[in-house]
Amino acid sequence: MNLHDHSDYDLVDLIVQEDMQAFEVLYERYAGRVLKRCYFICLSSDQARDLMQEIWIKVFLHLRSFKKEATFQTWLYRLTTNHCLNYLKSRSRADQLFQKIEMEEKVPTEDTHSVEVKDILATIPFEDRELLTMKFIAGYTYEEVASICGMNVSAVKMKVSRLLGRLRKAVES
């Protein structure tokens, strides 16, 4: 049986036995989603790439503690969120310590349109961005998102619809 056909749980078992190929397959399965998730939390491509590397090392280090009470994706999603939020907290503390106002770096290769969409995204509160990432990056259903966030389904749908409306305007402008 090809490793790509294995379930997440099976791959986890193999990785715990130090199977590097299984780790590679699991990485390829979820790398894109983890990177997008990191980006949606920190809104920086460079930071997202750095955080993603740390997160996958952390996955390898902590996989033994994964008890399979949740899906691997849920566990990974939580690990990613915790790691990114801890990073943002520590960065915030460092900024306060040095009384430094961090200026947003404008990457020369980033086009104006991309910056505009990113600016709109930055004005959306973290909790609301979470709804979008859970729905469209993690692939949860509306019912699951509502359950995780302690909201009712119609409220989640309405919020997502409004957020997409704002973003669509920015994309189309």
Residues that bind another protein (CB under 8 A): 18, 20, 23-24, 27-28, 31-32, 34-36, 39, 45, 48-49, 52-54, 56-58, 60-62, 65-67, 69-70, 74-75, 78-79, 82, 86, 110-111, 113-114, 117-118, 121, 132, 135-136, 160-161, 164, 167-168, 170-171
Q: Looking at beta carbons only, is 99 or 111 nearer to another protein?
A: 111
Q: Looking at beta carbons only, is 9 or 136 nearer to another protein?
A: 136
Contacts of 100 (CB under 8 A, 6+ apart): none
Residue 35 CB, shortest distance to another protein, in Å, is: 5
Residue 11 CB, shortest distance to another protein, in Å, is: 14
Q: Looking at beta carbons only, is 95 or 119 nearer to another protein?
A: 119
Residue 103 CB, shortest distance to another protein, in Å, is: 20
Residue 98 CB, shortest distance to another protein, in Å, is: 19
